[in-house]
Structure 1
Amino acid sequence: MRDQEPAVGAHEGRRLSTRETAELLGVKPETVYAYVSRGQLSSRRNPGGRGSTFDANEVEALVRRNRRDSGGSSSTTGELSVRTRITLIDKDRYYFRGVDATELAARHSYEEIAEWLWTGELRPGVTFTAPRESVAAARRAVDSLPEHSGPTDRLRVATIAASAADPLRFDLSENAVLGTARTLIPTLVTALPPMRYDHRDEGPLAHRLWARLTGRTPDEASLRALDTALGLLVDHDLAASTLAVRVAASARAHAYAAVSAGLGVLEGPLHGAASGLAHRLLLDVLDRGTAAPVVADELRAGRQVPGLGHRLYPGEDPRARALFALLEEVPSAAPALAAARDIVDTTARHTPLHANVDLALAVLTASSGMSSSAGETVFAVARTAGWIAHALEEYGERPLRMRPSGQYVGLRPPQPLPE
């Protein structure tokens, strides 16, 4: 016989002991306090000071939630899982709100894809404009950095400066956060120092970004490749930086702070900076004329060959496939494309790995006269839109739900005071 669930409000005002709460939840008493530390339950100390009591309706709501969604944001197994409607990765393909992401990127601009992620609506021809005050503050901050500062340093400082210039940043309503998103992204791009004297701070974002990455005059095929790269990279489920953003949003940090959290994680060589490693590898192959000695050096040093393989795609990375196809239409990309194919073919003799998006991005940056850090800039600007989408989604969830419990493995107390 199936247990009947109690009606909501049936025990208005009734308090449960820790033992009763644990029995209802089907967990150990200590796990009840883990729910409290995660913000999933509230407790009240007994008048006598011994033990705590819990609101019966709150406990019953948690029981129902656990039954209904065993794969929720936290579970008694300790494995973190987050419900999301933004990105699905499945069988060497990925989807934005149910739509094939590579097809979206092929047909729509980065700004249009960002709007799709944020609102579920397409706004054909939409462009993002940065307010003067925000740009001025961000530029002053970026210009004050040392010359050797990296792209993520600049973007992080620009984000903080733009935040300080926005007195309404603490408004977490959907419309306010969307307004922040539509001005922050162009502010980040415009705050970067231009490399072309004839640059324009208007029009499609990819055009504005190009002038911050290289001094070369772009052709239409190259601009299309950059715009598509931005669209392909806009989100990729719960990557490390995106998880950091959701943790910040769970604590109700404002959108600028959430983006700052993402930028802090992005700089790692296993995440946003990975394309730089692939860029340098590609230049080395072009310089030597063959991939064999370059790949051999990587393997001899015990390093994984950059730009190959992805833990979420047993087969080919769909982002790499889409970007490589566009780069075939860029005449200047032919040598770098040949070098990339040589890397894949040479490494296949050792282990069958496909090219990932970092290698495709490296072909774009290397063939366009961009620095090795340009891919990191593209990645960060692109992913900012995805971070905003995840922050918006997290603002609609219960606060502080991103609070897993640590598994303490140190010395058991009580220990003597240190000398």
Structure 2
Amino acid sequence: MKLFDSKEAAAYLGVKTSTLYAYVSRGLLDSVQATDDSRRRQYRKADLDRLKQRSDAHAGESAAAAGALRWGAPSLDTAISEITPAGPSYRGRTARGLVREGYAFEQVAELLWTGTLPESPPTWPMADVRPSQRHEEPVADEERPLDRMRLALMHTEMADLARFGTTKEARLECSRRIIMALGAALVSAAPSPRDSHDEESVAARLARHLATPEEAVIRAFDTALIAVADHELNASTFATRVAASTGAGLYPCVAAGLATATGPRHGGACDRGEALIDEVLREGSARKVMLARLRRGEQTPGFGHPLYPHGDPRWKMVVSRLGPTAAPEVLDAVDELVDVADQMRLGPPTVDLALATLCRALGLPSGAAAALFALGRTAGWIAHIFEQQEQGFLLRPRAHYVGVRPLPQ
């Protein structure tokens, strides 16, 4: 039986002798009396090995838990979506395949919520939006479309008595109403019961109010909404699941997602993509703009996605739908941007730049790309809210304290 003295045992464990003594006092480690000196304590190697293995395992778990919060290993079980090299899949159906087969956004949303893909596009009732939410004037700089959507959600919740319903159909009814209300806020023209287009799809309403109601444009909006409908456990989705785990209602949970999406590292990345395209159009040279940004140490948004090292498939899904109504100068500027970014090894373009390209090419107002992202992602948020409510546990991660320790009393 190999024995270590205090200094040797501490060195073997990689700790201070004071920590070694703390292990003994806490019952984590046994010591034995030295045969040649009753005042001296010794430590069995087998006991030290057991403590070392326990410490290493604990460190590994902590590291894994910390890594999971930073694009790391999966930390929750979900049956809603999966990230694959071909892009996201929804309930086992790839987003790319759903677009290729001509499904509408409403069908994909219902698939996410129920697990069943409707054979034909469902007709969702238009939202009963309060008159105070109608915005006929252009969006002011301080009032982004995404901000207006947050306001619309709050007003819609107050008017929706069905939000207290607990049946499956009541929850689906609220879900459809939420998306229709957010879409109405995005187009700055809330529909009224007298609207002759009250059976329009979400994409058709966006096309009619924001661009042109041509079939190609409608399909482009449908594709964009489907492409971003869900993406597993990103920041905004995690926020909605945390809220749902507390027992919060559907509207507050969606509000948590909308609030998170305003961040520049999430939905706000679309805003930065719009700004980058605008800068290239203004300067007339993507190379000049990118070099200037990099020399100033600034970010170049819209390139390189950590989960798609070989390219974000959603980029091509969206931009490939841009038809003859798209502004050619915008498409030329973005083509140059992508080419320069490739030469600079910044990574392939992402869906954030795709949404910014779509909105700029169709002449949508500033901030529309982030709002379009949030509108599509609301379908996924709602699915995750339902799933978290069904799982029934509180999401409460632990923190590893690294601050100043209190002084001994």
Secondary structure in 1 matching 2:82 = strand
- Alignment-derived partner of residue 398 in structure 1: 392
Comparing 277-286 and 388-397, the one that deviates more: 277-286
- Alignment-derived partner of residue 140 in structure 1: 132
1:305-343 deviation per Cα after TM superposition (whole angstroms, max 9, x unaligned): 12111111001211101112112x334343322221211
Q: Quote the Cα distance in structure 2 between the aligned partners of 1:280 and 1:392.
A: 36
Determine if contact 2:145/2:185 at 8 Å carries over to the other structure: no
Shift, 1:75, TM fit? 8.4
- Alignment-derived partner of residue 78 in structure 1: 65
- Alignment-derived partner of residue 161 in structure 1: 155
- Alignment-derived partner of residue 295 in structure 1: 290
The equivalences for 1:162-201 within 5 A come to 162-192=156-186, 193-194=188-189, 200-201=197-198
Per the alignment, do residues 350 and 191 of structure 1 end up closer, same or farther by CA in structure 2, a change over 3 Å counting?
A: closer
Q: Quote the Cα distance in structure 2 between the aligned partners of 1:221 and 1:316.
A: 25
- Alignment-derived partner of residue 210 in structure 1: 207
Determine if contact 1:114/1:385 at 8 Å carries over to the other structure: yes
Q: Which of these residues, 380, 384, 387, is aligned with residue 378 of structure 2? A: 384
Q: Which of these residues, 231, 243, 251, is aligned with residue 246 of structure 2? A: 251
Q: In the alignment, does 2:350 pair up with 1:356?
A: yes
Shift, 1:299, TM fit? 0.8
Q: Which of these residues, 314, 318, 341, is aligned with residue 319 of structure 1? A: 314
Per the alignment, do residues 379 and 415 of structure 1 end up closer, same or farther by CA in structure 2, a change over 3 Å counting?
A: farther
Number of equivalences: 337
Across the aligned residues of Structure 1 and Structure 2, the Cα RMSD in angstroms comes to 2.9
Per the alignment, do residues 201 and 299 of structure 1 end up closer, same or farther by CA in structure 2, a change over 3 Å counting?
A: farther
Shift, 1:92, TM fit? 4.4
1:173-197 deviation per Cα after TM superposition (whole angstroms, max 9, x unaligned): 433221210111112222442399x
Instruction: Give unmatched runs, 5+ long, in structure 2.
Output: 1-25, 27-60, 69-74
1:259-289 deviation per Cα after TM superposition (whole angstroms, max 9, x unaligned): 0000010001111121121122112223333
Determine if contact 2:79/2:91 at 8 Å carries over to the other structure: yes
1:212-254 deviation per Cα after TM superposition (whole angstroms, max 9, x unaligned): 5x3x434321221111101111111111000000000111111
One-letter code of the match for 1:299? Answer: L
Determine if contact 1:333/1:363 at 8 Å carries over to the other structure: no
Question: Sequence identity, in percent?
Answer: 39
Q: Which of these residues, 336, 354, 365, is aligned with residue 371 of structure 1? A: 365
**Relative contact order (alpha carbons < 8 A, sep ≥ 6): 1 or 2 greater?**
1
Instruction: Give unmatched runs, 5+ long, in structure 1.
Output: 1-28, 30-73
Structure whose alpha-carbon radius of gyration is higher: 2
Determine if contact 1:110/1:205 at 8 Å carries over to the other structure: yes
Determine if contact 2:83/2:89 at 8 Å carries over to the other structure: yes
Determine if contact 2:126/2:180 at 8 Å carries over to the other structure: yes
Secondary structure in 2 matching 1:311 = coil
One-letter code of the match for 1:409? Answer: V
Per the alignment, do residues 257 and 365 of structure 1 end up closer, same or farther by CA in structure 2, a change over 3 Å counting?
A: same
1:371-413 deviation per Cα after TM superposition (whole angstroms, max 9, x unaligned): 220101111111111100000110111231x101122223333
One-letter code of the match for 1:205? Answer: V
1:345-370 deviation per Cα after TM superposition (whole angstroms, max 9, x unaligned): 11222215111112221221111111
Per the alignment, do residues 201 and 300 of structure 1 end up closer, same or farther by CA in structure 2, a change over 3 Å counting?
A: farther
Determine if contact 1:306/1:359 at 8 Å carries over to the other structure: yes
Secondary structure in 2 matching 1:235 = coil
Q: Which of these residues, 263, 271, 276, is aligned with residue 266 of structure 2? A: 271
Q: Quote the Cα distance in structure 1 between the aligned partners of 2:208 and 2:144.
A: 17
Comparing 148-157 and 379-388, the one that deviates more: 148-157
Q: TM-score when scaled to structure 1?
A: 0.74
Determine if contact 1:199/1:211 at 8 Å carries over to the other structure: no
Q: Which of these residues, 123, 126, 130, is aligned with residue 127 of structure 1? A: 123
1:42-71 deviation per Cα after TM superposition (whole angstroms, max 9, x unaligned): xxxxxxxxxxxxxxxxxxxxxxxxxxxxxx
Shift, 1:131, TM fit? 4.6
- Alignment-derived partner of residue 37 in structure 1: none
- Alignment-derived partner of residue 262 in structure 1: 257
- Alignment-derived partner of residue 217 in structure 2: 222
